[in-house]
Chains A and B, each alone.
Chain A
Amino acid sequence: MNAAFQGIGASVRRTEDRRFVSGNGHYTDDMNRHGQLHAIIKRSDRPHARILGIDKTAALAAPGVVAIYTGEDMQADGVGGLPCGWGVKNKDGSPMAEPAHPVLAIGKARHVGDPIAVVIAATRQQARDAAELLVIDMAALPGIAHVRDAIAPGAATVHDDVPGNVCYDWHIGDKDATDAAFARAAHVVKLDLLNNRLVPNAMEPRCAIGEYDRSGGEYTLTTTSQNPHVIRLLMGAFVLHLPEHKLRVVAPDVGGGFGSKIYHYAEEAIVTWAAGKLGVPVKWTSDRSEAFMSDAHGRDHDSTAEMAVDAEGHFLALRVRTIANMGAYLSTFAAAVPTYLYATLLAGVYKTPAIYAEVKAVFTNTVPVDAYRGAGRPEAAFLLERLVDVVARETGIDRVELRRRNFIPADAYPYQTPVALEYDSGNHLKTLEGALKASDWAGFPARRAAARAKGKLRGIGMSTYLEACGIAPSKVAGALGARAGLYEVANIRIHPTGSVSVFTGTHSHGQGHETTFAQLVSDQLGIPFSQIEIVHGDTSKIPFGMGTYGSRSLAVGGSAMVKAADKIIAKGKKIAAFLMEASVEDIEFKDGKFSVAGTDRSKTIGEIAFCAYVPHNYPIEELEPGLDETAFYDPKNFTYPGGCHICEVEIDMDVGTTEVVRFTAVDDFGRIINPMIVAGQVQGGIAQGIGQALLENAVYDDQAQLVSGSYMDYTMPRAHDIPGVAISDEGTLCTHNPLGAKGCGEAGAIGSPPAVINAVVDALSEFGVRHIDMPASSQKIWSIIQSSRLPMAAE
């Protein structure tokens, strides 16, 4: 590979970095509009309360205050509620409960952080000062934080129209076959587990600027979003009732998302609507403390899992019951996460013939819960990979051998699981063997002994995970309850002098699309990398798109680019045929050149582009000028990345702290465009997984007050918590998209938590620990060590 190679497979240094390392990024809060006002949202400090009255008098009289609006003001102006993009049906076929989700609370506040009013003033400080003067008369109601409390008899009701607090009671799989398999099992292994609630914590707090142009009646929202077209669709159609041609949504540089910036949030509608009311731009920027109580949280499952196993250790059936916390309202994709992104993944990498899963989603007085990096798939992987380790222990079968024995064999693909999905490709044995070797699994006993000699408990754990990405095959998604198809769009515009703009409906907020997609298009069209610009994040420039989540950008957005590039080539061939007086069938395209087969005649794509726009002589009656093609791509199936993660930890017996001392990831992502960027995604995802496993926890007290509401209380992983991960790839190509790509963005956060906890449990095995819920904090571990009848500590 020569040094200048910048096509598919090269670790090209990122185009976007120059502006980011120089302080020249353009994040939403870096922008200010002429004459803008500032909004501060007054939020509930109570978990659950009736709003008896709001007295604006003193606040309105405060310096700089221009307006104060409440939920009733907005409702009276015809503003609608925030919609949910996915409908799930109950076991009996009836629709889920979908209570109103007003932009500003009306009648009741349902979680700490629920927005109640917006104060708009000349400066942010003035708005903040005035918000302090706003008097909200509230009558406290009992708050519910935890799922089991929500469904307990006599529990308070979060929404008056949803008695019992159940959003849906859903199931998947074959109950009878599963029950039958359990009846004949040699062993049944049962495990109760919690998947801890997380706060996504993208480093850039959310921000939104609304603008209204009186001359044309046009609105512009600049916002920290992963999917500006989705926001335009939802806010325009459901909330503010604005037609798309009068609403532009811009998502400029966005400082991380991890799912939390997918959703249409109240503040986006508030600033857009208020800008129209007041005729001036209105800006809102979240504080971090505000983010803790208003950005959608992640995870929060309470599950029971049971595996039926035969005498030889073959999995016969899996039965799962999960209660999922939706929070106080349904966020945009909330309903899909514990169903179609979770229960459909419960087969994992195993050929378990029967699976039955029941999921009850419930409302509580907590921040809405939605997709956070991995979204449902980490919960599935954690449940399954923990359960498999417990099965190994309780049947006495080696955990590696047990996995090997139950893997879906490589020659069984495509493989139909008992829970709806058909996996297209994979080789789990290969990623497992690769990881065993790379991690020196065999050499672990010596490392454990060495650790023990210095007073540390050392454990090793693995997970052999699988996920579903490339969201989504629209027909399948529709059948599963998605209220819109999930196509992706690419527009490739070759300019007259040969440079290229590529417009994508996906959005980059750390993933490096400006680099990866330019490599891809350079490879497809033979145009130098430096001549290609990737444009994303503006509904006024990009035809359409569903944005970036579910590790979909390359598999779906990249495939749309390949399709658009194919159209460019097809048209280029026609132009080349005309210019070289040859038949279209005889034109070949390779490395940026159109040639007449069997001759030395050729034209570069640059020459073709010039001719396409400003020709002296062109067959305009037969062929449209221009070299600008748009393609929509709808994936035929999900993609199925997977792999094996192996973690080694050392536990300090005196204080209970856990150090991740080695971490190995061998993944299958299909085709990789930029290995440097992919390795960065894996390392970063694993850091979040280690954070979930050992450090992070969104804690509510029993009255639903948010206890971990800032970085003082919520433990974010820091540089000394995360080791360098040994990352390698054992890819099998995706069989149904033109790139063979599967996606890599979420894998780290999916595969790593069970590997970490399996390692922690392994380290603590001599204390009789069977399972430990996340986060495996030093306090929990210290208590386990202290309360156990200790074997002699290290000599």
Chain B
Amino acid sequence: MPQVSLTVNGKTSTVEVEGRTLLVELLREKLGLTGTHVGCDTSQCGACVVHVNGASVKACTMLALQAEGAQVITIEGLAAADGTLHPMQEMFREHHALQCGFCTPGMVMSAIDLVQTHPQGITEDEIRHGLEGNLCRCTGYHNIVKAIAAAWPIMHGKQVPLAAE
């Protein structure tokens, strides 16, 4: 069986996989990183979004073998070693941007990429369209949009976030 070596959340692993194994299957089943979820089989829902070499990727849309040598960050790799949450995680909590939590890992990973790729600022419309690839059935999205808007200045070191109302 072929092998793939990759670094996930700072830890390098070499794993045997079938050629058809998806990156998300590698993460969940071989590495036990079950924070990355599978919500569909047509690459629409975005529950499986992770960062591969710094960019958000649907981990159900990439073969594990394609991740050879890649740096992968999953939802488990966001918080600091002392447990301090990433600002996006903190803002999701502050703004009640999650209910059942199933879409949340993918949503958070997509949101971070969205903020990082908009260094000059981001509008509500850009956030909404930027979430095109992530489905949430619980929240009606609005609080997710608020959370991302609130995380933007923190992630870009612009200002102290305003408290949620």
Chain A residues within CB distance 8 Å of chain B: 13-14, 16-25, 27, 29-30, 32, 125, 201-205, 253-256, 258, 287-289, 509-512, 676-677, 679-681, 683-688, 710-712, 716-720, 722-725, 748
Contact = CB atoms under 8 A, between A and B. Distances in A.
Contacts of B82: none
A19 B92 CA distance: 12
B115 interface: no
Given A680-B99, A719-B127, A125 B92 contact: no
B72 interface: no
A203 B140 contact: no
14 contacts: A20-B104, A253-B101, A256-B99, A289-B41, A510-B101, A511-B99, A711-B44, A712-B44, A717-B141, A718-B128, A718-B141, A722-B141, A724-B146, A725-B140
B132 A201 contact: no
Main secondary structure of the interface of B (DSSP, over half): loop
Nearest to B43: A711
B39 to A, nearest CB: 5
Interface stretch (B51-59, B61-69, B73-81, B153-161): B73-81
Contacts of B118: none
Nearest to B101: A20
Contacts of B45: 203, 288, 711
Given A22-B75, A719-B131, A29 B38 contact: yes
Contact of B100 (A255, A686, A717): A255
Name the 4 nearest CB pairs between A and B, nearest first.
Answer: A23-B35, A255-B102, A20-B101, A687-B140
Given A203-B47, A258-B137, A718-B132, A680 B76 contact: no
B141 A21 contact: no
A203 B39 contact: yes
B38 A205 contact: yes
B120 interface: no
B93 A18 contact: yes
B128 A720 contact: yes
Q: Is the interface of A mostly helix, strand, loop or mixed?
A: loop
Interface string B30-41: 000111111111
Contacts of B108: 21
A187 to B, nearest CB: 38
Nearest to B139: A684
A390 B108 CA distance: 45
B64 to A, nearest CB: 13
Given A21-B93, A25-B35, A711-B40, 15 more contacts: A21-B85, A22-B85, A23-B74, A25-B102, A27-B37, A202-B137, A205-B39, A288-B42, A510-B138, A680-B143, A687-B140, A710-B41, A710-B42, A719-B136, A720-B128
A16 B140 contact: no
Contacts of B93: 13-14, 17-18, 21
Nearest to B105: A23
Contacts of A679: 96
A27 B36 CA distance: 11
Contact of B135 (A711, A724, A725): A711
Contact of A719 (B28, B33, B76, B145): B145
A5 to B, nearest CB: 15
Contacts of B129: 719-720
A722 B75 contact: no
A288 B127 CA distance: 26
B37 A21 contact: no
Contact of A22 (B76, B96, B100): B76
Contacts of A202: 100, 102, 137
Nearest to B79: A22
A22 B104 CA distance: 9
A318 to B, nearest CB: 32
B100 A203 contact: yes
Interface string B104-122: 1100100000000000000
B98 A17 contact: yes
A722 B132 CA distance: 12
A53 B38 CA distance: 34
Contact of A13 (B38, B85, B89, B94): B94
Contacts of B29: 32
A681 B96 CA distance: 11
A722 B40 contact: no
Contact of B140 (A25, A254, A509, A684): A684
Contacts of B125: 720
A30 B37 CA distance: 9
Contacts of B85: 18, 21-22
Contact of B89 (A21, A512, A688): A21
B18 interface: yes
Contacts of A511: 99
Contacts of A710: 40-42, 44
